[in-house]
Amino acid sequence: MSAYTATYFLGTKAHFRGNVSVHPALYVEPDGKHRPGYVTFQLDSEISIDEQLKVADRFAKAVSAWRDELATRADQQRTAADELEAAQAEIARLKAEAGDES
């Protein structure tokens, strides 16, 4: 097994695909193309299919948790933006009622 750290920035063009061949693999293509710079997560064919499934489940659980945290953050940011917009509209309305042009 290789041990190193690499960081790949994923953008809107990122592509993810997998296969379940002899060596099941998940491919992450940060730029959306299968060319240098992609990452492969491969399961050892020496471990049983049940163990392979357990590894895949742990991987999926971590990715799902990460996605859920991002969704929560996005909701919070949308809520804050909506509240700010509503407050600005209310200030404008109150100024208009008071005859304030500034």
What does pTM read for this prediction? 0.68
Instruction: Please name the helix (run of DSSP H) or strand (run of DSSP E) that holds residue 91, with its range, or none.
Output: helix 49-98
**Cβ neighbours around 59 below 10 Å, total:** 13
Task: Please enumerate in sequence order all residues whose Cβ is within 8 A of that of 99, keeping only pairs 6 or more positions apart, or say none.
Answer: none
Length of the chain: 102
Place of tokens 């049940």: 50
Identify residue 56 by its one-letter amino acid code: A
Hey, CA dihedral for 70, 73, 77, 82, is it positive or negative?
A: positive
Q: Quick one: DSSP state of residue 32? A: S
pLDDT 10s per residue in the chain (102 long)? 668 887 888 888 999 999 988 789 999 998 888 778 888 899 988 899 999 999 999 999 999 999 999 999 998 888 888 889 999 999 999 999 988 766
